[in-house]
A and B are shown apart, each in its own frame.
Chain A
């Protein structure tokens, strides 16, 4: 029991990182039907941005809490802007072309970000300071739960809730939802489609950056290729939840985290991705639109 709870706690922690990245996938897919392959790399850039801020903050002897807050904020802003720039330069001109063309530019952006980071930070691992976070925690059903885990999970939930409220209750959020149903109709209703798409990238990018900073703090090691696996898993999470569906991405992310943690713990970490993908395929075979996706009815 205690082992199971431990896996569950660890799984939920990583799952919340996945969920934050999955949200970006799902939002961007929802409104421009693009699988943004570069999204995982935004997460990586976020991790590096946060790392730079923490290092600079430590140099200036700022208090730890201040360092962390700044790291989070700076990473979110920088990556949000980067995501907007990426949309403006590489995606927007192709929105009217074939969807595969834009998929390839997304791959190009991903490759550029990875190799840009490699040129800037080197091909090895960089480390967040290990002693910056408290190691203490408490026991729950015999499992060790770190305060850091709780705080990160809480922050992730807070961000997700904020996004959900934003999308449901603000005019821009309403415009986003309108766009996801019918872009042309939304335009005719006077919505600034390009602007709303940019804001979506801004939000998706910042959430990925927040996830990157937290992941960096949690595992301490970061690398220019860390976005690749994250992108793969977050994409899986988004599809599992029903791509285009915001609560679906949250649940999908947490599920993938838990699934991975359990299969690594009880079976073998070598097979964890096989198990995750096998579960995904099974879910899709029986529920072709993911857990929360709606059936698309086509008109003739």
Chain B
């Protein structure tokens, strides 16, 4: 069962899809009407799976009521073509629009919920839609709607099963095309980053609620499209086709096939719909055996039958110049500070934050001048990271102001703070682990990219130009941080030091005016630390103001223009490294306590 393509991968990825398509096209020649029905069922579930894959596989949102959108599309087409006398093709835009609106209605109030709560809300929504359809008069109650006209094109009626099969293939290809376009776009990357780590995604500039809402809307659109096809093909629908069990089957298609994997989802549909049919000879035992098979398959291949590729091709490998154009010089990464104005790069005043009974940050104020490297130091628990979190909008301060080049940041959400020009790294590394190195950096560019959802769906010229420019910039950033060769690797495969540097590259991708580094040297050996300090200086030389937190006094004193010292939530000193080293309160904070042996040793002699 294991699929290890190895050297065959290029061959399989190029010719495999065509081979599958050819097989799908000649399938009706050898199939009787029963197997044609099964084939159409597989194709329909593949459409549904591809739609749900955007929600579950990409955005990582568990949806247990996806059949609701399928139902809404089906009922819209059924009602408009029977009562409204529209043709199938005329009903399609309405079916898509109604399901998209339903996507917004479920999504908007609930997307702030944690994923397991979201699961039950979607389940409840699915049941509400089904029960409503069962109990209302105009939807035909439990009997549903019948005598729905079949689709026709220029007088040709899709009556025969063969023709309906080919129509299903055409619909699937359309869904496949557009879902792939979305997946390979700014929006698709943002979805993946949400799945990997939602709060990190928001903190590097992705507007998480809006991006999730789009996942819902697009999932709903493709579900609705599949529903419209389903209604017109069967010419009769009833609420029984849209049960919770159906939602679960669609979910199985995605997870069993392989999340975020297009071939996986199609294979998953074949297994979920086809296997119970193959097992029909077992009669009563059929679903039991299917269930055991399902469990066994998941135990053997928890990632799905055909998981998404774990390593991507390095987009900057040999020959990439032909596609992308010549690499950018590193100078292109520099920014001019001319437009920043005269004000302080970062001005923090009166910052306060209480956690229960602990005043973690108590009236902290400091100013960072443009173009300097400023360090915030202090013993463990001094409130350094809380200060960072308050500045970046991750934690809401109880009071105080934060200004970036004169512009107020307090009260803004993390992604708005990034958009304003302030980005950060994390104390514990928070990369999007199963995404490629270059994709991590591309997600960091989200706030500055302009491609909207229509561009992402259609891959317009504007979108393609922007993607190329982003890739070139990404290449330069990775080279700047010494990671260019690793661009195609999964982020989780990188060594610790490389992961730290990738976080910096991702933060720089947002083109910040000010960069906050939270303990960038933690866990590094002395020579790695030296290299990191070199990198920090080079970042400053690009025109970026740097604020960093660290414990290591040698490192901080060596690199900083300006040092702020915190102790127990209060600022106790603020000045040049020389002034800080001479400050008695600082010496007391670091040396005054016998138990802090480590900190004593850290003091430069």
B113-142 vs A, Cβ < 8 Å mask (1 yes, 0 no): 110110111011101100110110000000
**B252 interface residue (CB < 8 Å to A):** yes
Cβ contact within 8 Å between A270 and B299: no
Task: Name the A residues within 8 Å of B294 (CB-CB).
Answer: 104-105, 107-108, 111
Task: Name the A residues within 8 Å of B304 (CB-CB).
Answer: 101
A264 → chain B closest CB, angstroms: 13
Cβ contact within 8 Å between A109 and B131: no
Cβ contact within 8 Å between A94 and B109: no
**B324 interface residue (CB < 8 Å to A):** no
B586-604 vs A, Cβ < 8 Å mask (1 yes, 0 no): 0000000000000000000
**B199 interface residue (CB < 8 Å to A):** yes
* Complex Cα–Cα for A118 and B110 (A): 37
B137-178 vs A, Cβ < 8 Å mask (1 yes, 0 no): 000000000000000000000000000000000000000000
A267-299 vs B, Cβ < 8 Å mask (1 yes, 0 no): 000110110011011001100111000001011
* Complex Cα–Cα for A104 and B249 (A): 10
A-B Cβ contacts below 8 A, count? 136
Q: Tell me the B172-228 residues at the A interface (CB within 8 Å).
A: 199, 203
**A35 interface residue (CB < 8 Å to B):** yes
B395 → chain A closest CB, angstroms: 8
* Complex Cα–Cα for A236 and B125 (A): 12
* Complex Cα–Cα for A29 and B114 (A): 14
Q: Tell me the A102-134 residues at the B interface (CB within 8 Å).
A: 102-105, 107-112, 114-116, 118-119
Cβ contact within 8 Å between A289 and B127: no
Partner of B128, one of A29, A270, A278: A278
Known: A119-B284, A235-B120, A280-B124. A90 touches B299 (CB 8 A): yes
Partner of B127, one of A35, A103, A277: A277
* Complex Cα–Cα for A262 and B256 (A): 41
A247 → chain B closest CB, angstroms: 18
**Closest residue on chain A to residue B254 by CB atoms:** A100
Cβ contact within 8 Å between A274 and B127: yes
A87-103 vs B, Cβ < 8 Å mask (1 yes, 0 no): 00110011001101111
Known: A94-B299, A112-B292. A284 touches B128 (CB 8 A): no
Known: A232-B123, A270-B131, A284-B110. A109 touches B302 (CB 8 A): no
* Complex Cα–Cα for A20 and B128 (A): 25
Task: Name the A residues within 8 Å of B367 (CB-CB).
Answer: none
Task: Name the B residues within 8 Å of A114 (CB-CB).
Answer: 287
B191 → chain A closest CB, angstroms: 15
The chain B residues found within 8 Å of chain A, CB to CB, are 56, 62, 109-110, 112-114, 116-117, 119-121, 123-125, 127-128, 131-132, 134-135, 199, 203, 244, 248, 251-252, 255-256, 259, 284-285, 287-288, 290-292, 294-295, 298-299, 302-304, 385, 388-389, 394, 426-428, 430, 518
List the 4 shortest-distance A-B pairs measured between CB atoms, nearest first: A277-B124, A97-B302, A111-B291, A112-B291
